[in-house]
Amino acid sequence: MSDMAVSHGMAGEFEPSLFGAYSKKIGMWLFLLSDTLTFGALLFAYSYGRISNPDWPTPFHKESIINATIMTGCLLSSSLTMVLAVMAARRGDRSWTRNWILFTMFFGVAFIVLHGMEWTKLIAEGMTPSKNPWSSTVQQFGGTFFTLTGMHMVHVTIGVIYLGVVALRKRFLPILLICWLAVWLGTPADSVFHLGAHLILIGAIVAGIIMFLKPKDYDAHDVEIAGLYWHFVDLVWMFIFPLVYLMSTRITG
């Protein structure tokens, strides 16, 4: 019954659902609102630092801006493919639902890879959470940058795992484990991504437990709920991109 939508004012056995929407959708919206406040606090903290420090570093030159713009294009395109997946699910077209979700995951993975490359470049230039090579007086730049973008990258990774479970169900678990091994063994031991790879393992364990405890065939509601989460990840980036990258461009030549 938890998935059912009950009209307002309808006398019957059950309480009318909040806003006439099914409970899973309300639950996801409430979660997203709370997550909005988390990201809101991080974005406000970053903006506070940016405004109050005239010497704020501007390390993002042409290459970084192009890279971040492509990342933005990936997320916007993934939102389009996600909404097409939701439409296909409503039509009952399982094949195209899966295909569109896989396209969405492709764009999500592309975003993570491009973001990982950007992080690697900044770390190679000497940036850490506690210092940066561009401005010795603004030590909090690294900390705020890595916290904000790292938090978002974690959300994107969770989103890709979530979509994979909805699209492929148990068949996605071995793929996740292969991805975990590939990232873990394919990155240097001193790389942040060597440790970060374990997020994929944790995701695989959690997804496995959920699918073991509640095995089900995901329907149009589940696709729509997964879509809400994915669009939220896209939405947050629409604020991180201008605040972090575009406000710290370095124009040379």
Minimal CA–CA distance to 228: which of 59, 20, 22, 2?
22
CB of 44 to other proteins, least distance (A): 5
Give the residue with the Cβ less far from other proteins, 60 or 180: 60
Amino acid found at 8: H
Enter the tokens of residue 157: 């990774």
By beta-carbon proximity to other proteins, the closer residue of 19 and 128 is: 19
Name the residue nearer to other proteins (CB basis): 12 or 92. 92
User: Cα-flanking dihedrals φ and ψ of residue 234, to 5°?
Assistant: -65, -45
Considering only residues 59, 74, 84, 176, which one is a binding residue for other proteins as defined by CB under 8 A?
Answer: 84
**CA distance readout (Å), 26 to 5, 21, 30, 34, 250:** 11, 7, 6, 12, 43
User: Amino acid identity of 129?
Assistant: P
**One-character DSSP codes across 114-130:** HHHHHHHHHHHTT-BTT
Provide φ and ψ at 128, rounded to 5°. Answer: -130, 170
Q: Identify the residue among 23, 67, 83, 151 touching other proteins (CB under 8 A).
A: 83
Neighbours of 107 (CB within 10 A): 24
Residues 219-238 close enough to bind other proteins by CB under 8 A: 219-221, 224, 227-228, 231-232, 234-235, 238
Stretch that binds other proteins, among 112-120, 154-162, 167-175, 213-221 (CB under 8 A): 213-221
Residues that bind other proteins (CB under 8 A): 3-5, 19-22, 29, 33, 36-37, 40-41, 44, 47-52, 54, 65, 69, 72-73, 76-77, 79-80, 82-84, 87, 90, 92, 219-221, 224, 227-228, 231-232, 234-235, 238-239, 241-243, 245-247, 249, 251
